[in-house]
Structure 1
């Protein structure tokens, strides 16, 4: 997959493809308010541990040389560890590069269904 990362200047754009079993993730924005309604300033916010996959490598190889395909795809919403990955900036966009094994799981959001009483 070769996603295009748009440039902020409009003159250039770059494509980025992770190698092997690595993925590029864009962090999802954290909450601006606490559960009690208090506004949280940017300096006090924790970095979110949830992000969207924007690029996926071709996969790794096992000890015998057999190709192992990555289970993730572009657009997946994933959870990862607080200190996982390497932060980079490509064309003004902050991304995390990490191995597939650093990702804890894929989030599937569904609508809540009310149960009859």
Structure 2
């Protein structure tokens, strides 16, 4: 796992996307606080940075499927974890992202 000082210093290359996983609520609907050990990470994340895109056979950049600020559905496993302080972010390829979540 890589360690970086600032998340702003991470700039994805080619078709890679920097994602912060969303954690589930630490409190139930009725207000009961859950212990940290029972709170799991969801398969949902927020896109923090996007690379310029993969080069096609003709040398032109292929458009990315997501952009900064999008909420996305990501696989449970995979991606490259990157530590920034106490937080862990993940770098996925654009093709590994399962879906965009529109509200």
The TM-score, its normalising length taken from structure 2, stands at 0.78
Q: Which deviations, in whole Å up to 9, do the C-alpha atoms of 1:49-87 show, x marking residues without a partner?
A: 111100000100234544212121100000011003111
Instruction: Specify the alignment match of 2:68 in structure 1.
Output: 74
1:82 and 1:71 map into 2 onto residues whose CA distance is: 19
In the alignment, structure 2 segments of 5+ residues that lack a partner are none
Higher RCO (CA 8 Å, separation ≥ 6 residues): 2
Shift of 1:14: 4.7
- Larger radius of gyration between Structure 1 and Structure 2: 1
Structure 1 residue runs of 5 or longer lacking an equivalent are: 1-5, 8-12, 110-117
- Which stretch shows the higher mean deviation, 46-55 or 56-65? 56-65
Structure 2 residue matching 1:48: 3-state secondary structure = strand
Mapping 1:20-59, distance limit 5 Å: 20-33=14-27, 39-59=33-53
Kindly tell me the number of residue pairs found equivalent between the two proteins: 100
Q: What is the alpha-carbon distance in structure 2 between the residues aligned to residue 73 and residue 58 of structure 1? A: 10
What TM-score does the superposition give when structure 1 sets the normalisation length? Answer: 0.70
Tell me by how many angstroms 1:37 deviates: 6.8
Matched, 1:99 2:93: yes
Q: What is the match of residue 89 of structure 1?
A: 83
Q: Deviations over 1:11-48 (max 9, x none)?
A: xx852210110000011121224578764321122221
